[in-house]
Amino acid sequence: MTDTNELTLRPRADADLPRCVEALAGVQAADRYPVDWPADPAGWLTPHDMTDAWVVMAGADVVGHMALTPPGIALAAAAGLPQRRLLAVARLFVGTRARRRGVAALLLDRAIETAAARGQTPVLEVETAARAAIGLYERAGWRHVGTSIADWTTADGRLARMRTYVAPAPPMNSSHSAPS
C-alpha cells in the first residue's frame, strides 16, 4: 500500500474495479468476506440494482469500498421502515492495512449524507460473527433493530445470523439534510 496518510473519498469509477478486486482479495483472505470468492468479483462489487459506489483512496491504492442499493423486502421489514424510505449499504470493506484510519467512518458518513439528501435512511446487515464491524457500527451510533437467519452458510458451516442496523440521523448542520 502507498505510504500516505492522505485519504480521499470519491465516487468509484470503472477504472477502479481492478484495484477494488485486489483490495477485496486481501479482505477475503483475512476475514472471509465474502465467505466464498465470487466467480466475477468485479460483478459482485457492482450489484445490478446499485445506485452509487464510492472508494477511499490512499495515494493510488483503493483502501475502502461501499455500494448503495435499494433494500430488499426482508431488510426493510427487519428495519421496520418502508422500502422506499431506505437505502442499503452493501459491499462495504476496508483493506487490511488501512484499518483504524477512519476509512469505514468516511464511507458510513457518505451513506448517511447521500440517503439524507434523498429523504432516505441507510440500513445494513452484518453477520453476527463480524465483531469488529459490529463494534464500529455501534460506536458510530447505528441502531441494532433485529437479528434474522440468512439463507447462506458461514465459513464454519452454520446458517448465517444477520444483525440489522439503521443509521443515526444526519447531523443538523449537514449540508445534505433531509427534505421536510
Alpha-carbon separation of residue 149 from 8, 69, 127, 130, 159 (angstroms)? 36, 21, 9, 15, 7
Average confidence (pLDDT) over 43-50: 95
Residue with cell 457518505: 110
Average confidence (pLDDT) over 106-130: 96
Give residue 177's pLDDT.
39
Least confident piece of the model among 24-28, 64-68, 93-97, 110-114: 93-97
Per the CB < 8 A criterion, the answer to whether 75 and 68 are in contact is no
DSSP 84: G
Domains of the chain listed by start with CATH number: 7-166 (3.40.630.30)
Question: How far apart (Å, rounded) are the C-alpha atoms in residues 26 and 141?
Answer: 28
- What is the sign of the dihedral through the CA atoms of 160, 50, 38 and 61? negative
Dump pLDDT digits (tens) for 88-105.
999 999 998 888 889 999
Question: How far apart (Å, rounded) are the C-alpha atoms in residues 9 and 94?
Answer: 12
Among 120, 144, 145, which residue's Cα sits nearest to residue 133?
Answer: 144
Question: How far apart (Å, rounded) are the C-alpha atoms in residues 136 and 138?
Answer: 6
| Mean pLDDT computed over every residue of the chain | 90
Question: How far apart (Å, rounded) are the C-alpha atoms in residues 51 and 87?
Answer: 9
Question: How far apart (Å, rounded) are the C-alpha atoms in residues 84 and 60?
Answer: 36
Among 62, 180, 172, which residue's Cα sits nearest to residue 119?
Answer: 180
